[in-house]
Amino acid sequence: MTTLAPASTTLLRDALAVLQPGFVGTTAPDWLLRRLDDGLTSVGLFGRNIESPEQLTALTAQLRAVRPDVLVAIDEEGGDVTRLEVRNGSSFPGNLALGAVDDPELTRTVAQELGRRLAACGVNLNWAPSADVNSNPDNPVIGVRSFGADPELVARHTAAYVEGMQAAGVAACTKHFPGHGDTNVDSHHALPRIDVGLATLGVRELVPFRAAVAAGSKVVMSAHILLPALDADRPATLSHAALTGLLRASAERGGLGFDGLIVTDAVEMSAIADTHGIERGTVLALAAGADAICVGGNLADEDIVLRLRDAVVRAVQEGELPAERLADAAARVRDLADWTRRAAARPLPEPAPEDAEVGLTAARRAVRVTQGPTPFVPCEEPVYVAACTPVANNAVGDETPWGLAAELTRLLPGTGTGSWSQTEAEALGVPALAGQVLAEAGDRRIVAVVRDAHRHSWMAAALDALLAARPDTVVVEMGLPQASPVGAPHIATHGAARVCARAAAEVVAGRRADG
């Protein structure tokens, strides 16, 4: 902790109020409880903090015993990005599956049921939905997290998601402003750049964010992306032109007129940490118009909280950050906390019986089957599942399981499985990899499972080799179905959530898992 000139209690509390830190463990550490008492108003939860709904409920109760109005945030998109079910896979499909169905009422119901489950565990701020228009199919970090590539489709589902989530009393956080869909770089690792003009931005990236603002989204999350048309020097998270001049500005001045809370994406991501530094990035973000600083996915201890608090206090004392700007940001955080507290006091509508299974219903509706040269006859005997497994991006994480093996084994006992990575494929060579799959499969039908095959040449080559040897191979694409369909048949799930796997397994076996 750095040495500071004496600071008022108000200044110290405001500096803590604008932070949204994480921590390690399934119970709140003593340091976190002390800082909540000192003015910290928000806490971010990650998969490492969650073991079960019961444990999560006890954890949020522990936090509220110190600060009843605490904002408990989570990154629960459903689909590939889940924290509630990080070790088992989500009971809800992600955005791409919902966009493929294109039934906004279904999206609203899915979001409300997901929100209801979060609220029941004491979570009141969800860092979702992603409103990014996935205009670049090679995007390494958005993909199935987007509702699709059409701005109007993304807009209507973003609005429906916001309405459903907030109907459950959980604040929605629309991200990643002003749009992360046209990038080919993951901002966890470097600073992406989008070279489009303001006209393109207005008719593409901003369309879903305008819909989210109109739907009443309580929070918007900024993206660590450089858009020279807006700001040639600073990424949106640190840009006054992006956050104040565009997001906050009124419609009459060409802005979105957003009056809620602006939170940054995690400041320890390389796009900020490696270009400006975490402390400096925090101060610049607040000065640009951000109200809350997300941190703690990787840096999750008291030291980072105190470092950022002290950086903010020092910036105010030295005149770099106006005290009024910090006070405004802290007030917006407390206003949101007040909204969530009042929302939690309202009785929620009882879910309909079918709502408990709405995630599976949506996943089944999202499946798309392209027949091969001959009509597909469902498998009645055990199969062999060959999974080509890419490296998971940081938003998804590698602890969340994916694939079809578990679900197909339930339906077809005796099913076998194998998994290959790019490293293994390149070490073996594609012919040897295909030979291994064929040898392990024996006389069982092969079900090849891929994820974003269009982005991974080794996957496409492995599929070609398998189909040349075994033309009856079933291909299941659990990522973005951008490549031309191949297989007998080709099954696109539009996501790798557990319910997406179950829906695909039901197609392969020709029957539902529940009967």
Catalytic site positions:
188, 265
Give a three-class secondary structure readout of 200-253: HHHHCCHHHHHHHHHCCCCEEEECCCECCCCCCCCCHHHCHHHHHHHHHCCHHH
Question: What does the alpha-carbon distance between residue 464 and residue 85 come to, in Å, rounded to a whole number?
Answer: 34
Q: Considering Cα of 249, then 252, then 254, then 256, what sign does the dihedral take?
A: positive
Please say whether the beta carbons of 43 and 25 come within 8 A. no
Q: For residue 20, what are the β-bridge partners?
A: 294
Q: For residue 490, what are the β-bridge partners?
A: 370, 475
Question: What does the alpha-carbon distance between residue 485 and residue 460 come to, in Å, rounded to a whole number?
Answer: 11
Residue with tokens 């798309």: 368
Please say whether the beta carbons of 390 and 456 come within 8 A. yes
- H/E segment holding residue 57: helix 53-66
**68, two tokens:** 């009843």
Q: For residue 424, what are the β-bridge partners?
A: none
Please say whether the beta carbons of 124 and 171 come within 8 A. yes
Residue 78 Ramachandran class (φ > 0 left, ψ -120 to 50 alpha, else beta): left
- H/E segment holding residue 476: strand 474-477
**150, two tokens:** 């059409």
Question: What does the alpha-carbon distance between residue 283 and residue 220 come to, in Å, rounded to a whole number?
Answer: 18
Question: What does the alpha-carbon distance between residue 361 and residue 365 come to, in Å, rounded to a whole number?
Answer: 6
